Amino acid sequence: MLRKDGRNRVIIGTTMGLIVIASFVYALWETNTNPTFAYFSTFSRAWELGFGALFAIALPLFQGIPPIARTVIGWLGLIGIVASYFVINDTLPFPAPWAAFPVAPSALVILSGIAGTQRFLFPLTN
């Protein structure tokens, strides 16, 4: 589906990027006007999955990350996920913008493992 020249990857990535931005902006608006609806709305949560899709589409751009950088990225992601558990509570507006707190570190954890496992990422591998 995606040709080697990357043209389709750019088209799909741009389209997905626009969807992610639109979904996040909508989630910000809906979270302020109707938080319960925003929490259960598919479109106001689509950006969370779309963020991961953008990483999948852009995977070739990240193949050259050095192992030490991937180790640091993985640990930062893990720390971010754990921190989000302690920071996010029921008084904060959710899903936007606070759902970005666990989403972005999760992407970092995925990014840290794209070129194989690292011995210094033992909590993130099985």
**Tens digit of each residue's pLDDT, the chain (126 residues):** 555 567 888 999 999 999 999 999 999 999 999 999 999 999 999 999 999 899 888 888 888 888 889 889 989 999 999 999 999 999 999 999 999 999 999 999 888 887 766 667 766 666
Beta carbons within 10 angstroms of residue 3's beta carbon? 8
Position 7 scores a pLDDT of: 85
Q: How far is CA 12 from CA 5, 47, 50, 52, 103, in A?
A: 13, 15, 12, 13, 21
* Phi and psi at residue 21, to the nearest 5°: -65, -45
pLDDT per residue as tens digits for the range 65-95 = 888 898 899 899 999 999 999 999 999 999 9
Position 103 scores a pLDDT of: 95
Report if residue 81 sits inside a domain: yes
Q: How many domains does the chain have?
A: 1
Report if residue 104 sits inside a domain: yes
Element (H or E) spanning 91, and its range? none
Residue type at 101 in one-letter notation: F
Position 58 scores a pLDDT of: 86
Domain extent for 108: 7-124
Report if residue 110 sits inside a domain: yes
Report if residue 2 sits inside a domain: no
Q: What is the pTM of this model?
A: 0.82
